[in-house]
Structure 1
Amino acid sequence: MGNIFSVNSSCDATASRFLGSIFRRAAYVGKLEINLRHLKTSLEELKCLQNDVKRRVAVAEQQPHMKQLDQVQNWISRVNSLEARVREAVDSSSQQTESLCCGGYCSKSYMSSYKYGTKVAKLLVEVADLKSKGLFPEVAEKLPQPIINERPLEPTVGLDSLLDKVWSHVEDVEVGVLGLYGMGGVGKTTLLTQIHNKFQHTDFDVAIWIVVSKDLRVEAIQNRIGEKIGLRDPTWELKDPDEKADAISSLLSRKKFVLFLDDLWERVDITKIGVPFPDQHNKSKVIFTTRSEDVCGFMGAQQKILVECLPWDKAWDLFQEKTGRDALQIHADIPKLAEAVAAECGGLPLALTTVGRVMSTKKTPQEWNHAIRVLKKASFEFSGMGDQVFPLLKFSYDNFPSDKVRACFLYCALFSEDYDIPKDDLVWYWMCENMLDEHSHPEEARDESYHIIGTLLNVCMLEEGKDGCVKMHDVVRDMALWLACDPKKADDSFLVHTGADLIEAPIARKWKNSKRVSLMANHIKELVETPNSPYLLTLFLRRNHLQKIATGFFNSMSNLLVLDLSSNKDLAQLPVGVSSLVSLHHLNLSNTGIKELPTELKCLERLEYLNFENTPNLYSLPPTLISSFRMLKVLRMVHSGPDSEDQNHFDDEKAMVKELHGLKHLDYLTLDIRSTSCFQNFISCKLLSCCTRLLYLLGYDNHSSSLDISSMGKKHLEQLNIRGYPNLEDVVLDIDWAGGLAGNNLRNAIMRIHNCFHGLQMIMIQYCDNLKDLTQLCFAPNLISVYVLCCSRMETIIDIKKLGGDANVRKEFNLFAKMGHLDVRWLPALKSIYGATLPFPCLSYINVDGCPELKKLPLDSSSAQGGTNLTLRGEQDWWDGLQWDDQLALDTFRPSYICWNVDQYLQT
């Protein structure tokens, strides 16, 4: 009986499994339509989740040193892959659903429907699984910064043996704190830079370089360290110094670090900052430079090294290099005299360089004898700078060709330490301060200013900076301030506290006898006191956090010539009493939050320079305000006011352009024009069109197919930005060019090239969807930067067919000979830049994004100096599809290529 029961039970189980299998298969078929609907809905939900994750990644990667997590990237890839499979399944659904019958519970092709239903069900499970795994608490992580970014360094003379000596102490495990001391200009920073660069080949986790100026505070050092090691997030500014110290200590205590502190003036308590004191356990290092041996003791240096002046043989080599060996052979007596001059420099590298360059133009023994006598008589003592530094630098100062050059040199000390001073800014400061000769035209003043700048550069009292700027070496600046802040040594008395983290201005009585005051780059929010400053000529308040200036603050500044309030984002209004500035020539309100210009400003009848660029909150100007400045030479107002299509704004703009017609002395103008009528009014005035340097045209109400700027000042227009002209087909730089160049037209155009836009250096074209080419750029031979963005029908930049089909025409037009920067983005129809190869002797950067049809660049192996100085950025798929004339061209430019990504887009 047991066996029989067992057999029956087994049969029942088999039958049960069989029926269950049938029912499950039937379920896959019966629920097919429902599952398909659920699959579509679930996929859309998954895609929404993926989009959310991508946005979170994009936001996170905008922060410095943040990178998407690998698991997030993997999840996004899996979603994309799954989406493709789901789309494929859904696309074939109609055939399967059509075979269903019996109300959807059966199928005419049962096995096919069953297999398809199984596939849909599995896809539903996969979608659900990915949805559950896409709820990431974090989507990105901080990347470690490079241990060492090599700092640039000129070739050095005579430091090799000292570098070896210092490095032996760096490698000594018993030396954690190392101090380099010596007089200013002796080469301490140069030596520290060499040491810094050698750390590239060590096992240190992080290297931090900080220039510690005389007025720098502990919290400023903390901020720089926090930024370097990735702690400076939005909550960082809310922390007090102790909390910042704890955060720095917590991170650095787990690292092997080296901290470089350049130019210490007093003891810095590194433990108070949060930096663990180096010892044999953590094996970290602190290396610093100072001008005082005492500071080495105060810092607890286990090893202090005196950076001495160069020995005679090295000093003589350096002096000859800077003077020029040919200059020493002009007269037989000069070489011996030159040795005496070089000896007076005491082997100080800065002095050897400065004096050597000064003497490079002296051609008679008498001039050399005079130099020796002057150097021997130098007996000044300078606190903190060493007994020999300032006399040698002052020798260069005294050797300037005129008091005017000396005054211009001292003026540069008003700017912050290591500040890049735009040369053109100095032009207008000096002009408005009446420091230059009287000139009938501002262009002459500009030429004189550049001559003075060149003189200061040639004798190393200024240094060439980036992008048309100059810089003052910190030692040279210290000497200049030593002179300028003491009325006994200079005609002007300066009050300068720049980059000192001040939260309040110096008390009013300190202003009384000052002629020039600079409080740049501080944290001053309010100017509360009203100083009595009858002698004040210059007031620099740029780059603070100004919110309020006391009423009457300017009442006793009737002689003020220059007022710079720029880069105070929270400054919304000028105080009552600004009308007291009756002598003011220069007013800079750029990059402020200013909401209105008071009618009081009409009293500033002597104003020559007015800048309110980048003031988006400035909604309107008082009627006739601009026209009241009849002496105005410079008016900079590009990006002032909101970017609006409001008719009231158009009306204000029209009234403003009308006022500009009355400014007979205007020489330099930057502005936006948003309406067609304003542009026609503007272009009809020869004075305005000829003095415009930067023009931003927004085609809000322009529906024409052509934009004629041929009557603009061809010599002076430097930047042109054209945005939002939907019907534009042609930008006309030469009105006589009838759509192409061939035969006589070509010859005439080549003849007219000498009367084209020689001043135009930058052009940006955006959102001009009907524009197919920019061939008339051939009439702008000095272009440095070209940006073309979001022009959906743009096919080529320069159409070679419109140039008569002759590639050699570029030799006549000198196409892109000065081009340094080319940026083309989101041009889906773009097929070429130019139909042949071009030489690009100055090219440094090409960026291509969203240009899938651009298969070839106008480059060969000889273009752009062989590609050695070029950065070529684009998407990987685009790069892989580029066509090259030969393998050599590809090999030449392959090292220049950088794959485009979100971070790079945000940086550009």
Structure 2
Amino acid sequence: MGSVFSISLSCDTIISRCWDCVAGQVIYACHLQENLADLNAALDELKERRNDVLRKIVIDTKQKLRTLDEVRGWLSRAETMIHEVDELLIDGPEEIKNLCLGACCSKNYKSTLNFSKRVAKSLRDVKDLKGKGAFEVVATEAPAAPVVPRPSDSAVGLESTFNKVWSAFERKHVGIIGLYGVGGVGKTRLLTEINNKIGVSSGGFDVVIWVVVSKGFYIGKVQDDIAKRIGLFNGNWSDKAPEEKAIDIYGVLREKKFVLLLDDIWERVDLSKVGIPVPNQENDSQLIFTTRSKEVCGQMRAHEKIQVQCLPEEEAWELFEEHVGKDVFDSHPNIRGLAQEVAKECGGLPLALITIGRAMACKNTPEEWKYTIEVLKKSANFVFPNMGEEVYPLLKFSYDSLPNDMVRSCLLYCSLFPEDFEIAKKSLIDLWIGEGFLAEHDTVSQARNQGHYIIGSLLHACLLEDVDDWYIKMHDVIRDMSLWIACSCEAEKWKFFVQAGYHLTQMPEGGRWKGMQRMSLMKNKIENLTEAPNCPDLQTLFLDNNGQLKVIHNDFFQFMCGLKVLSLRGSLGITELPVGIAKLVSLEYLDLSSTNIRELPIELKALRKLKCLNLSCIFLRITIPRGLISSFLKLRILRMISSYPFDVAAEESNECLLEELQCLNHLNALTLSITSAFALDRYLNAERLHNYTEEIGLQMWKDSKQLNILSLANIESLNSLVVGQCESLEEVKMEWAVEGRMIKAQSHIQTSVIATQHCFQSLHIVFIYTCSKLRDITWLVLAPNLRDVSVAGCNEMEEIISEVKLSQVAGLVGTLTPFVSLKYLNLEELPKLKGIYRNALPFPCIKKIDVRHCPKLRRLPLNSNSAKTNTISIAGNEKWWKELQWEDESTRNAFLPCFIAT
């Protein structure tokens, strides 16, 4: 009996377990519909997370950061999972049809059970993967080379000082070297030569770190710059306190043999607070810094203090002669002797020699040189505090020599920006237009041409410096001189108040606003603007890049009735404008770009003089009341690129905006983003807007697989085109409309002439990003004047210009050679890219090719005749570079010095 009872218990257990198993399987089927719906929603969330990550990558790419391997791996897994789940969901409706008995049974039980399990597992996996994609940081600085070579101007006259510094540098007991001297004497040039010499010497240093300190520095900026060079600037670095950062920096540098180069110190830098081990004979590391004060050398406990002195007469003449040019001396026999007198008046100051030398480079008569000598002799008698006896008067000579007050105003205006700030030429010219500096023109294009002419004049006069094609900056000595003029020398005329980059947390006291005409509080940490300063004379107010600024009190603008220019660019904490902004009845320029403003108040209608409105890069959707834009009857410039003022589905709103834009009779420059094929059609029908559209963004498309690029061909003013986050876009076609019919390029013999003469002649910049299904962008051959092309995050991109597609549109492109004007080519995160163009290209203008994470790109369209007329750099991963295939060994050798490891 005992045996029987034992068997009975075993059977019950077996039956119970079988029932649990069956019930568990039934649960899968019962929840199938619910799980499918949840899976759909989870997949959408995963796609959104992927798009957010890709958008961050695109932004970081612009800043030349390297995407983290963890992020690239997550994106790869996300793409695979999205593809697999999309495939799985296709079978969902069929499996649902098989369900019966209240969705708890199936006509094909085994199939439904397996499918239900896959759905349940995929739901868990998608949620898990989405959670792992919440990256605070997606990119970091590329591993630093020991030394980063820096561009160097002529070092004429600095040879003896350089040798003295290098000799001290090679002595092991000298750990800290201080270079001091007056502004403009060549300290930075000397430090640059030291940096570059270390790069080619055999000193065995692990890392050379260059940091520009500048006046009013704060410890966090120095720590951040060091962290970027030694690989610490990632993760939660920005959230750490200075004390924590110092510990991290010290932990890395104490294990390294380093050289720290600090440029432009104005006060003691406490090395321990930064986290820098004191350089000495034991750790074999060194510190070299530049300063304008010998006292600072003592405060920094420099083992060697070396004065960088003005040049002796012979070397000063050599430098001056170099910048004036031989042709001027040959133009009249008396000029050389007069020029030597001018060089003497410069007192051997290199900056003055260069600045005045370039200013005199077109003076071909003795009378002009005699006048110059007279002016310099008068100016040299003045003494100005803290800047030596001759610096500002000498530099002011170049300022006084500018052609008119308008150009001088434009120069002084640049001193409103922070020290070492890179100023966008386009934004600067917009500001000049808003200020009324530029002469009245019928079109913004004409005004902009004048602006570029003025920038060119200031560059040639050595009063501004070129950064690249789009940015300029001001030498700190020239900026000091400009502020001296604007704040002291001619205070009654200019009345500048500049505390840009001072890390203020509160606005200046109300009394300091009184009588001021232009105020710059850029790049601070001001949290709120509550006091209403009494400043009826104020014309310009810069509040850019105050990231902590959240509150602007309703009465803040109450006593600024004369304000013409207001800029809040980059102040991300701002989400709304006070209705009190309606008090600014004289406002002509308003920049709200790169803020988080959610809605424009209808009270802005009071700004009837507004000429320029910048709403670019407001990524959160911004509400613009109907009738607001059309109320700005004097509006000339409207920028809305990468901003989305209306919901994509709100077709009526889009049409309303286009109608309002067409009502603006003075509108002359427009940039905007178009978020659907439907909206593009509406825009194309608004032909009046085509005359002044400068930049178009085709972004966030979800309703079209194709784009006919020739629909944009007649927009003659189109300068820049952005195509991004168009997940459905598979093909960019080239079809010409003739009498209402679409004619394929190869079938219409005349289209070649039409395209060659009229297509995209003004298009200079193209940026393609996150178009995951796009395979090529062959249409670029129709843009003969392209200067900058960037392609990023396009997973299916196989070719930039497809040979097959090119043959299909032979009748359209004719004999066009691509990229004859191209200067910059940037290719990033293109995993399937195999080619750029079928043949080698001449690239007569190319400056840089930057390739990142394009593992299948094995050949560049270069041969030994490419880029012969200019210097080119090719940036990329070392492994990729080593695996590149070249036409022949001579081509490889020709481009070997051009490579920059990233």
Tell me how far 1:270 sits from its aligned partner. 2.7
Counterpart Cα distance in 2 of 1:543 and 1:348: 36
1:177 is aligned to 176
Rounded to whole Å, the distance in 2 between the matches of 1:705 and 1:771 is 11
Task: Name 2:22's counterpart in structure 1.
Answer: none
1:593 counterpart residue number = 596
Deviations 1:546-571 (A, max 9, x none): 11112211111111111110111221
Of the candidates 494, 498, 504, which is equivalent to residue 492 of structure 1? 494
The aligned runs of 1:489-638 (5 Å cut-off) are: 489=491, 491-545=493-547, 546-638=549-641
Look up the match of 1:92.
none
| Correspondence for 1:386 among 385, 388, 391 | 388
Alignment check: 8 A CA contact 2:761 2:783 kept: yes
Does 1:151 pair with 2:150? yes
Aligned to 2:86: none
CA displacement, residues 494-513 of structure 1 (integer Å, 9 cap, x when unaligned): 11111222222221211111
Which residue of structure 2 aligns with residue 420 of structure 1?
422
Output aligned runs, 1:390-789, within 5 Å: 390-486=392-488, 488-489=490-491, 491-545=493-547, 546-641=549-644, 645=648, 647-648=649-650, 650-698=651-699, 699-702=701-704, 706=708, 708-710=710-712, 712-721=714-723, 723-724=726-727, 726=729, 730-732=733-735, 738-741=743-746, 746=749, 749-750=752-753, 753-764=756-767, 776-786=779-789, 789=794
Look up the SS of the partner of 2:373 in the other structure: helix
Are 1:364 and 2:365 an aligned pair? yes
Q: Judge conservation of contact 1:380–1:387 (CA < 8 Å) in 2.
A: yes
CA shift at 1:400, angstroms? 1.2
Q: Is 1:801 aligned to 2:807, yes or no? A: yes
The alignment's TM-score, normalised by the length of structure 2, stands at 0.77
Paired with 1:878 and 1:339, the residues of 2 have a C-alpha distance of: 51
User: Are 2:845 and 2:870, in contact at CA under 8 Å, matched by a contact in 1?
Assistant: no
Whole-angstrom CA distance in 2 between matches of 1:666 and 1:572: 27
Q: What is the CA-CA distance between 1:374 and the residue it aligns to?
A: 1.1
Aligned to 2:503, the other structure's residue is in SS state coil
Aligned to 2:272: 271
Secondary structure at 1:783 match in 2: coil
Q: Distance in 2 between matches of 1:795 and 1:424?
A: 29
Paired residues of 1:710 and 1:735 also in contact (CA < 8 A): no
User: 1:515 and 1:143, CA in 2 relative to 1: closer, same or farther beyond 3 A?
Assistant: closer
3-state SS, counterpart of residue 782 of structure 1: coil
Residues 559-616 of structure 1 show CA distances to partners (whole Å, capped at 9, x for unaligned) of: 1111110111221111230101111111111111111111111111111111111112
Give the deviation of 1:898 after TM superposition: 8.5
**Amino acid corresponding to residue 442 of structure 1 in structure 2:** V
Q: Classify the secondary structure of the residue corresponding to 2:802.
A: strand
Secondary structure in 2 matching 1:457: helix
Match of 1:838 in 2: 841
Q: Which residue of 2 aligns with 1:291?
A: 292
Name the SS of the counterpart of 2:447 in structure 1: helix
Compute the displacement of 1:157 (Å): 0.4
For residues 67-146 of structure 1, the aligned pairs below 5 Å read 145-146=144-145
For 2:142 and 2:734, locate their aligned partners in 1 and report how far apart those are by CA, in whole Å.
46
User: In structure 2, do the counterparts of structure 1 residues 205 and 735 end up closer, same or farther at CA, with 3 Å as the change threshold?
Assistant: same
* Percentage of pairs with the same residue: 40
- Please list the CA deviations of residues 131-159 of structure 1 after superposition, one character each: whole Å capped at 9, or x if unmatched: xxxxxxxxx99997433212221231011
Contact 2:619 2:642 in 1 (8 A): yes
Q: Is the 8 A contact 2:354 2:462 kept in 1?
A: yes
User: Letter of the aligned partner of 2:807 in structure 1?
Assistant: K
Counterpart contact for 2:332–2:364, Cα < 8 Å: yes
Unaligned runs of 5+ in 1: 1-54, 77-139
Number of aligned residues: 767
Shift of residue 780, structure 1, vs aligned partner:
1.9
What SS is found at the alignment partner of 2:494? coil
5+ residue gaps, structure 2 = 1-49, 78-138
Q: Is the 8 A contact 1:670 1:695 kept in 2?
A: yes
Paired residues of 1:179 and 1:288 also in contact (CA < 8 A): yes
Which structure has the larger Rg? Answer: 1
Give the whole-Å Cα distance in 1 for the aligned partners of 2:799 and 2:172.
64
Tell me the distance in 1 between the aligned counterparts of 2:798 and 2:272: 62
Judged with a 3 Å threshold, the aligned counterparts in structure 2 of structure 1 residues 894 and 532 are, in CA distance, closer, same or farther, namely same
- The answer to whether the Cα contact below 8 Å between 2:423 and 2:472 also exists between their aligned partners in 1 is yes
> Counterpart of 2:226?
225
CA distance in 2, matches of 1:886, 1:460: 43
> CA-to-partner distance for each residue in 1:787-806, whole Å, 9 max, x for gaps?
56356797953644345589
The farther-off stretch of 265-274 and 453-462 is 265-274
Q: How far did 1:209 drift?
A: 2.2
Residues 315-350 of structure 1 deviation map (CA, whole Å, 9 limit, x = unaligned): 111111111121122222221111111111111111
For structure 1, which segment, 424-433 or 616-625, has the greater mean C-alpha deviation from structure 2 after superposition? 616-625
| Counterpart secondary structure, 2:412 | helix
In 2, Cα distance between equivalents of 1:770 and 1:64 = 25
Maintained 8 Å contact 2:844/2:869:
no
C-alpha distance 896-512 of structure 1, shift in aligned 2 (>3 A): same
- How far the C-alpha of 1:517 sits from its partner, in A, is 0.7
User: 1:869 is matched with which residue: 868, 872, 878?
Assistant: 872
* Distance of aligned partners of 1:752 and 1:244 in 2 relative to their CA distance in 1, 3 Å threshold: closer
Query: For the Cα contact (< 8 Å) 2:561–2:585, is it kept in 1?
Result: yes
**Residue of structure 1 equivalent to 2:164:** 165
Deviations 1:653-712 (A, max 9, x none): 232222212122112111122234432232122221221111122543346774552464
How far the C-alpha of 1:888 sits from its partner, in A, is 4.7
Describe the SS at the equivalent of 1:624: coil
TM-score (norm 1): 0.77
- What SS does the corresponding residue of 1:738 show, helix, strand or coil? strand
| CA gap 1:750/1:542 in 2 versus in 1, 3 angstroms | same
The one-character-per-residue Cα deviations of 1:603-653 (angstroms, maximum 9, x if unpaired) are 1111111111111223421111111112111111122138965x24x4432
Mark the CA change 1:520 to 1:739 in structure 2 (over 3 Å): closer, same or farther. same
Cα distance, 1:753–1:874 mapped onto 2, change above 3 Å:
farther
Shift of 1:308: 1.0
Contact kept, 8 Å, 2:658 with 2:686, in 1: the verdict is no
Q: Do the aligned partners of 1:733 and 1:779 also contact (CA within 8 Å) in 2? A: no
Corresponding position of 1:30: none
Distance 1:271 1:834, change over 3 A: closer
